[in-house]
Structure 1
């Protein structure tokens, strides 16, 4: 009698296992498009048969005790997750830098008719035309006009770089806030996962959410994730823990908000201790904000505009002062620099007409244009404003090309890592449909076993002695 009743339990356990398979398949299908979701499977094991003991026990073979659902497994792969985080950190860094350099190249307009190189060429040509037409107001007017265009273009270029720097500075603040927010969430999930697991609950969905947040940290700031035996993770940036179990260490941005200021990420609990990020979007943006002497490309661009303005004013004024105007005035400057302002913003044209331009040498007469001719040749040579600008533009082009290549490779690596992760952890709807059919069939079979045993017990209990009458 006992073994017959145990058959009902075996059938019941079969029903339970099949129902669990259906529910998990439904959960997988429902979350097929959920970002960060990892497919799940029921882990089953067979129950052994119960041995018989006693004087009258019959040594008959007995079947096992049915099936047990041991756990619901999360079919992720920690190595694939780690590759995704590493690739995300690299792509975040190189992608941001490549985009910033593309923006900077667009602002430079080089090479092209709207670039500063073309404006400098026109400026020197206007002096050559004045040398061929000494004392002519029209030729002098062209020189002044071209000089004004250059001063305006240098100032506009500098302001554009300044605006880009300020935009990156604001982005750094936003990214830091997001990093702190994500770090707090990971710490809270660590605590919840440990508590839920200790209570015997399933933590798969919580682990999925935490893994997605860990990838976000990598994309923002690079770093490393360490898995602990208690189910929690540690998240490190710059070699130090942002998250340790349920504990979170806040970070902050310090530094000025003016182009050229030093800006750095540091621990709130340890003021003055900079965090050296090894990747991520925040690491790239902090790199862009570096001073010119430390390799900050935006500050170097601003310095290039300043150097061009300073050199242009100095070289032209040095020659212009040696000449005389048509009215005989000598020692005049052609350009001026506003005191207290960035040279690129303070470059001004002093001359307003032909009588303010010293085109000839002192005592050379009204038709002498030797000074104008000398000025027209100032665009050549290693120390010229043109050479300073060309060197900078070439350098930016080389860096931008290299960064674009790095970003392309990093994007490819990121996509490959993500696809490899999804091949392991992603939901395959065809596979889940097959699982539904298998679980449904198993459920129906287990129900049929239960029905058959129930009918046998009904015969045994209610019809014993009546069969065969």
Structure 2
């Protein structure tokens, strides 16, 4: 081996150790950078020479600056992050409805209905009292207005979630475009066989964010690009990204479609799916139950009140008519009948067919007071075909308790997924995170190796000088 070869070997060693020092410094500088994966210089022996005296090495070669990352740990984290984000959002959305109903409470709908039935009991005790009639009128109006208010706020909540879903779908499209762009840059940067570690970190960070918006599945191709799917829908394939958009059918069902064309997307999972499910299932379910309650109130109260009789101060008795407006039978529009709203004197206490008719009769008021706990007054069939039925008190109590159970279940799911996501993130950071002690050790080792390579050059230089002096 010539002295020139010795210098070449030493020079390769110095260059390699310099790169190791640079890489360690890069790792240390990015110790707190979100999504950064530590890098490691991979070295290999240079190709061998075959002189007359046998095979000898030719120094060191930098094979790659590798990114330390475990795709299996990435997958585990993203699965749990998606579940955690979805469950937490579902808990928040359902919790919004629970807060709206505000049960149990002294000022909620249950208390308002209880006061309504109690006012009929009071009227039965004083069937000729105009003050008792006014209380019935006020309490009936209060129940109707509470149901109206609930429905308005639920409609407003749906509009807010729809806006949030649109923003989420827009963000999904932005991330899909970003990932497709990173794919193109990574493919170009890795043509020579090296790893574009920093670009891969940026791409993984975008995929991590996307995982919270939907159930993300990643397939890496040999050329360095990836295919990314939400649920079973490919939104990125190589350098191509597909855009999603929200649609609303004629019946109000919300969906997500993929372009080009009008392909219905299968469930995305993540927060996007939580919002779709809330608007298509949870919110309509609660509104349907409140509508059933309002319809039951209108039907049952009117059926009894219409049998009553009014006794004007001057004139013959007249039929009482309806208490609630029979054309308004949903939570959104339930209201008192025009006659009752105009005057409490149009509220009947006694029945026309009573054994002892007259202003002192209380048959209607007693019957209406008995509706408080009468079974089978409200019936609701949900989207799955299951029937819920009960008295006014028990039915509304079931609405509140079922909602509370859903909120609790979503909260439990969110806690479980969050814990698992934290554990998965800790495991992957143990592989990809920067360890300062390890980097300092690497720096010291590289520094010593660099000094040793420099000593080889100094020694070879002295040998060359000796050889020149001999000549």
Give the TM-score, by structure 2 length: 0.90
Tell me how far 1:106 sits from its aligned partner.
Answer: 0.9
The residue aligned with 2:330 is 343
Distance of 2:90 and 2:392 partners within structure 1:
27
CA contact (8 A) 2:66 2:195 kept: no
Per-residue deviation, residues 256-305 of structure 1 (Å, max 9, x unmatched): 6x9x711100122231x321225211011111111xxxxx1111111122
Distance of 1:306 and 1:147 partners within structure 2:
16
- Residue 10 of structure 2 is aligned to residue 3 of structure 1: no
CA contact (8 A) 2:50 2:56 kept: no
**Which blocks of at least 5 consecutive residues in structure 1 are unaligned?**
54-58, 291-295
CA contact (8 A) 1:289 1:298 kept: yes
User: How much is the aligned-residue C-alpha RMSD, in angstroms?
Assistant: 2.0
Distance of 1:322 and 1:453 partners within structure 2:
118
- Residue 68 of structure 2 is aligned to residue 75 of structure 1: yes
- Residue 333 of structure 2 is aligned to residue 334 of structure 1: no
Moved over 6 A (4+): none
Alignment of 1:340-419 (within 5 A): 343-350=330-337, 351=340, 352-362=342-352, 364-380=357-373, 381-383=375-377, 384-419=391-426
The residue aligned with 1:280 is 270
Tell me how far 1:445 sits from its aligned partner.
Answer: 2.3
The residue aligned with 2:383 is none
* 1:346 aligned counterpart, secondary structure: coil
Per-residue deviation, residues 392-443 of structure 1 (Å, max 9, x unmatched): 2222122222221111111111111111111111111221122222222222
Distance of 1:245 and 1:324 partners within structure 2:
78
The residue aligned with 1:302 is 287
Q: 1:47–1:200: structure 2 CA closer, same or farther, 3 Å change rule?
A: closer
The residue aligned with 1:437 is 444
CA contact (8 A) 2:306 2:321 kept: yes
**Which blocks of at least 5 consecutive residues in structure 2 are unaligned?**
378-390
CA contact (8 A) 1:47 1:68 kept: yes
Residue from 297, 307, 311 that aligns with 1:312: 297
The residue aligned with 2:184 is 191
Distance of 1:347 and 1:203 partners within structure 2:
65
Distance of 1:44 and 1:221 partners within structure 2:
39
CA contact (8 A) 2:310 2:320 kept: no
Distance of 1:320 and 1:415 partners within structure 2:
61
CA contact (8 A) 2:43 2:64 kept: yes
Alignment of 1:13-412 (within 5 A): 13-47=12-46, 49-53=48-52, 59=53, 64-199=57-192, 202-255=195-248, 261-271=252-262, 273-290=263-280, 296-327=281-312, 328-336=317-325, 343-350=330-337, 351=340, 352-362=342-352, 364-380=357-373, 381-383=375-377, 384-412=391-419
* 1:289 aligned counterpart, secondary structure: helix
Distance of 2:426 and 2:156 partners within structure 1:
38
Distance of 2:309 and 2:277 partners within structure 1:
49
Give the TM-score, by structure 1 length: 0.90
Distance of 2:190 and 2:221 partners within structure 1:
13
Tell me how far 1:194 sits from its aligned partner.
Answer: 1.3
Aligned positions, number: 447
Tell me how far 1:71 sits from its aligned partner.
Answer: 0.7
Per-residue deviation, residues 69-95 of structure 1 (Å, max 9, x unmatched): 111111001111111221122222222
Distance of 2:217 and 2:43 partners within structure 1:
34
Tell me how far 1:217 sits from its aligned partner.
Answer: 2.3
Distance of 1:337 and 1:24 partners within structure 2:
78
Residue from 438, 458, 470 that aligns with 1:464: 470
